[in-house]
Amino acid sequence: MRLELKGLTKKFGSFTADDDIDLVVEPGQIHAVLGENGAGKSTLMNMLYGILTPTSGEILIDDKPVSFTGPGDAIAAGIGMVHQHFKLVGPFSVADNVQLGREHTQGMGVLSAKAARKAVLDVSEEYGLKLDPDAICEDLPVGVQQRVEIVKALSGPKTELLILDEPTAVLTPAEITELLQIMRNLAAAGTSILFISHKLKEVQAVADTVTVIRRGKVVAELEPTASEAEMASAMVGRAVTLQVDKTPAEPGEARLEIKDLTLVSDAGVKVLDGLDLTVHSGEIVGLAGVEGNGQTELARAILGLVKPDEGRIAIDGKDMHGASPADRIADGLGYIPEDRGRDGVISEFSVAENLVLNQYRDVPFARRGAVNSGAVRKRAVDSISEFDIRTQSPEEPVSALSGGNAQKVIIAREFSRPRRFLVAAQPTRGVDVGASQFIHSRLIAERDTGTGVLLISSELDEIYALADRIAVIYNGRIVGEVAPDTPRAVIGRLMVGADIAGADDTAPASDDDADQTDEEANGGDR
């Protein structure tokens, strides 16, 4: 299928999300659309998929203009879409999710489970995407859920164009490698792919053509051979250095001391298993690891959201046993949560209100229980300019902000009061290049003022860019603490628990661990 967009424009009131977009996807081509958060990529895709109606301009499929009134029309026209936020019904089986909207029936609207299973197996075999049609979607790992989405998108009556909207945002490095391979195979089989991303490495790895969008306009058409810096500056609109400048760390006294921390989940699994970790003032310790190895629980335990079953946490030399999150924040703990929407902001609240969430009880923001809105507003105006938060006003709800700007609200809030120690969990997840760069430099500046920083990130690039020391977490333990110039391969092996004997004495290798690793390696293609 040849897809052409001519002058596609979408306005929301006075705001123009997409302005006169021209774009051509040739058959069998992987066409990447690069852009920062809020550049208008998702709006563009939603128009292509019939979710939104364009204000003006036209969509041509094989040179014939089409107009979609809903996703059903787009599917019928041969377009399949894998959404950034999966559109899977959790309690449904894979087969039911795939057949939703185009059910296999045996007449009279009665479902045919057999036909639905077979359809899934046929597609998964045709494209080499292994799936169990009877598995319940919510039980599947994220990477497999995405495979379900791809099979779903390919199961249309004649899917010839696949839209992948930020498909790698939630994947582990291994899953990303696999996805990129799947994309190459699909393109080789003649499927056209529109690949929305802001991750430059991935775009370089798979794309045939790159279109860069900034503030709703096409600003560049590039070859995938273009350098990362070239792509990044086109996205941001100015020259970007991807390297973060920093001086060597000057570690001082211990700011975070964790001894033998153990946490048992409701299901009876040790999600933290005798974890030891120390972070000093003036250093950034990067916590590397495959997601789901206890990072989330560790961050929550440091903040005091969960009560550990054993072990001790001390912040700035003070034992935190029994201290509530509010106590710890008052004692100088800063916290950038990994799940921005759930733990970081109250999205219906205004930017100004979110900026004082950690100190709304304190003078000058409140006096005798009444909020001083003048002081709140002044703080908001200051923070908005200092942290370059792109918002129409301090009264705008955070839900109207792009992901990067919402993250800046959190960072501004955490940095606006004196602190001794900072937990930064996935600080640049879903954040565009420009904002990431800004956040990184703020983290370094923070370190240089003497704060101890624990950086939890699933992106090794980020850890390499910022960390002065790298700790690797696996199955709820620190299995190695290494220098920041350690090769990726070494850390990669630590991350999957393969090299435990090579780690320091905090984690003696045991038979259990070895078995575990084998099991997971075998279970990898579930």
Partner 1 sequence: MAVDTMTASPALVDESVPVRYAKAGAVFAALGLFVLVIAFAVVGGDDKTLIRFDKTLTDVEWAMPTTVVMAVLGALTAAAGAWMLAGIPKRRFKLVSAIAVTAFVFSLLFWAYSQPGTVFRAESILAGALFLSLPYLFGALSGVVCERSGVINIGIEGQFLMGAFTGVLVANITGNVYAGMVGAMVAGLLSTMLLALLATKYQVNQVVVGVILNLLALGFTSFMYDQLKKAEGLNSAFAVPTLSWGPLADIPVIGPVLFQQKIFVYIGLVLVFVVWFLLYRTRWGLRTRAVGEHPAAADSMGVNVNRLRYWNVTVAGLISGFGGAWFTIANSLAFSKNMTAGLGFVALAVMIVGRWNPLGVLAGALIFGFTTQVARDLDASGGSVVPGEFLQMLPYAVTLVVVAGLIGKAKAPAADGVPYNPGDK
Alpha helices, H only, 356-459: 373-386, 403-415, 433-448
What CA–CA distance (Å, rounded) separates 227 from 241?
Answer: 12
- Which span (86-94, 196-204, 276-284, 400-408) binds partner 1, by CB under 8 A? 86-94
325-384 binders of partner 1 (CB under 8 A) = none
Provide the CA 325 distance to its chain's centre, in angstroms: 25
Is residue 224 within the footprint of partner 1 (CB under 8 A)? no
| Size of the residue set binding partner 1 (CB under 8 A) | 67
1, 34, 88, 123: which one contacts partner 1 (CB under 8 A)? 88
Nearer to partner 1, 252 or 524 (CB): 524
Nearer to partner 1, 387 or 474 (CB): 474
CB 34 within 8 A of CB 213: yes
Is residue 426 within the footprint of partner 1 (CB under 8 A)? no
56, 67, 105, 393: which one contacts partner 1 (CB under 8 A)? 105
Min dist. Cβ of residue 466 to partner 1 (A): 18
Nearer to partner 1, 222 or 425 (CB): 425
Q: Which helix (H) or strand (E) segment is 287 a member of?
A: strand 284-288
Of 182, 166, 170, the C-alpha closest to 145 is: 170
Nearer to partner 1, 508 or 524 (CB): 524
Min dist. Cβ of residue 90 to partner 1 (A): 7
Two tokens, residue 93:
């089986």
27, 71, 325, 397: which one contacts partner 1 (CB under 8 A)? 71
Nearer to partner 1, 52 or 351 (CB): 52
72, 190, 237, 364: which one contacts partner 1 (CB under 8 A)? 72
27, 28, 57, 173: which one contacts partner 1 (CB under 8 A)? 173
Token pair 């006169």 is found at: 20
Token pair 């897809």 is found at: 3
Nearer to partner 1, 100 or 226 (CB): 100
Please say whether the dihedral angle defined by the alpha carbons of residues 36, 38, 41 and 45, taken in this order, is positive or negative.
Answer: positive
Is residue 145 within the footprint of partner 1 (CB under 8 A)? no
Those residues whose C-beta lies under 8 Å from the C-beta of residue 247, and which sit 6 or more positions away, are 448
CB 58 within 8 A of CB 42: no
Q: What is the DSSP string of 333-377?
A: EEEE-S-IIIII--TTSBHHHHHTTTTTTSTTTEETTEE-HHHHH
Nearer to partner 1, 130 or 361 (CB): 130
Two tokens, residue 94:
């894979």
For residues 241 to 280, the per-residue mask of contacts with partner 1, x marking binding by CB under 8 A and - elsewhere, is ------------------------x-xxxxx---------
402, 475, 477, 513: which one contacts partner 1 (CB under 8 A)? 475
- Which span (316-324, 430-438, 503-511, 516-524) binds partner 1, by CB under 8 A? 516-524
Please say whether the dihedral angle defined by the alpha carbons of residues 440, 445, 446 and 451, taken in this order, is positive or negative.
Answer: positive
Nearer to partner 1, 147 or 255 (CB): 147
Those residues whose C-beta lies under 8 Å from the C-beta of residue 291, and which sit 6 or more positions away, are 172, 458
Instruction: Compute CA distances 249 → 237, 422, 423, whole Å.
Output: 32, 16, 17
23, 33, 47, 52: which one contacts partner 1 (CB under 8 A)? 52
- Which span (382-390, 405-413, 414-422, 474-482) binds partner 1, by CB under 8 A? 474-482
Burial of 394 (0-12, 13-18, 19+ CB in 10 A): buried
Is residue 70 within the footprint of partner 1 (CB under 8 A)? yes
488, 501, 504, 508: which one contacts partner 1 (CB under 8 A)? 488
Of 118, 161, 165, 125, the C-alpha closest to 146 is: 165
Min dist. Cβ of residue 484 to partner 1 (A): 16
- Considering only CA atoms, give the Rg of the chain: 25
Peptide bond between residue 364 and the one before it cis (omega within 30 degrees of 0): yes
- Which span (30-38, 139-147, 192-200, 235-243) binds partner 1, by CB under 8 A? 139-147
**311 φψ region: left (φ > 0), alpha (ψ -120 to 50), beta (else):** left
Is residue 85 within the footprint of partner 1 (CB under 8 A)? yes
What CA–CA distance (Å, rounded) separates 409 from 322?
Answer: 29
Those residues whose C-beta lies under 8 Å from the C-beta of residue 25, and which sit 6 or more positions away, are 1, 2, 3, 4, 31, 161, 192, 193, 194
Is residue 87 within the footprint of partner 1 (CB under 8 A)? yes
18, 96, 165, 481: which one contacts partner 1 (CB under 8 A)? 96
CB atoms under 10 Å from CB of 247, counted, come to 8
27, 28, 57, 141: which one contacts partner 1 (CB under 8 A)? 141
What CA–CA distance (Å, rounded) separates 371 from 87?
Answer: 41
9, 11, 55, 92: which one contacts partner 1 (CB under 8 A)? 92
101, 128, 190, 317: which one contacts partner 1 (CB under 8 A)? 101
Q: List residues near partner 1 by CB under 8 A.
A: 46, 49, 51-52, 70-73, 75, 81, 83, 85, 87-92, 96-97, 99-103, 105, 109-111, 141-144, 152, 172-175, 177, 265, 267-271, 290-293, 460, 474-476, 488-489, 492, 495-497, 516-517, 520-521, 523-526
